[in-house]
Copies of this chain bind each other. A is one copy, B any other.
Amino acid sequence: MPPADRLRDHAGQGATTVAAHRARRRLRADQARQLADLLRHQLLAGGFPNGTLPHETTLATEYRATRNTVRQALDLLRAEGLVERLPGVGTVVVAEKYPHGLDHLRGLAETLHEHGRVTNEVRTMGPAPAPAPVAERLRVPAGDEVLYIERLRRLNGLPLSLDLTYIPLDIGTALLGADLENTDVFRLLETITGQRLGHAEITLEAVNADTHSAAVLEAPRGAAVLMLERLTHLADGRPVDLEFIRFRGDRITMSGLLHRSL
């Protein structure tokens, strides 16, 4: 074989080896993700009663996976802040992830009352001229003042969400003296108007937190945030509450029921 060919052949073999190695690595990463998804569900559903995951070898047997795959799956869950490895104890659940219903329109304290106490730090509150898109959605004349509120919401002291709220001033004025630190705006709106809330249009997105929002939420820079935009109407149909809510992705799950046809 001429040297050039031998060289080419050798390079070809090298490429095959690299490709095979890449394929194995890809396969293991796929299997780790697959296992991590199953474990994530179990740990969020409280499926590990004493808060400790089975030993790696037990997991490997149960899930017919290699120990390397198990280790990689646990690494993924650790990166998400769901588990931690404690020397001498094993892998323990450290997630503080709370369920938020998608089936009913509820305030945060109403939703999470089983999980602890919701407190609100009012960062900003006061009348402000409504920007055009806010005025339009709240059906007030453009430039009219609306009540603007910015709150950092905590569950048992841990930051959960950063909420930006716009409310028409005729209703909002009564909120100025209310106990916003300890009461959901939803409940206050119903008390003020003497009406039940009706429905809300919502939009959910996953975004990376900007530096400042991350700092306020005490989350790492670029942390995934579940962003909820919600326009809430009174029972009579009047829009009364426009909110932009950034939930810490590692602290909240939204769950609900979908039907094929209604």
Seen from chain A, the residues whose Cβ lies within 8 Å of a Cβ on chain B are 26, 29-30, 32-35, 37-38, 41-42, 44, 47, 62-64, 76, 79-80, 97, 102-105, 123-124, 129, 131-134, 148, 150, 164, 196-208, 210, 212-213, 222-227, 229-230, 235, 244, 247, 249-250, 252-262
**Contact indicator A102/B208 (Cβ below 8 Å):** no
Residues on the B chain within 8 Å of A235, using CB: 260
Q: Kindly state the separation between the CA atoms of A26 and B150 in the bound complex, as whole angstroms.
A: 13
**Contact indicator B260/A104 (Cβ below 8 Å):** yes
**Contact indicator B260/A208 (Cβ below 8 Å):** no
Q: Kindly state the separation between the CA atoms of A240 and B190 in the bound complex, as whole angstroms.
A: 42
**Contact indicator A257/B200 (Cβ below 8 Å):** yes
Q: Kindly state the separation between the CA atoms of A252 and B204 in the bound complex, as whole angstroms.
A: 9
Residue of B nearest to A227 (CB): B206
- 6 closest pairs, A vs B, by CB? A206-B249, A206-B206, A29-B212, A206-B226, A224-B224, A105-B258
**Contact indicator B206/A225 (Cβ below 8 Å):** yes
Q: Kindly state the separation between the CA atoms of A225 and B37 in the bound complex, as whole angstroms.
A: 14
Residues on the B chain within 8 Å of A249, using CB: 205-208, 224
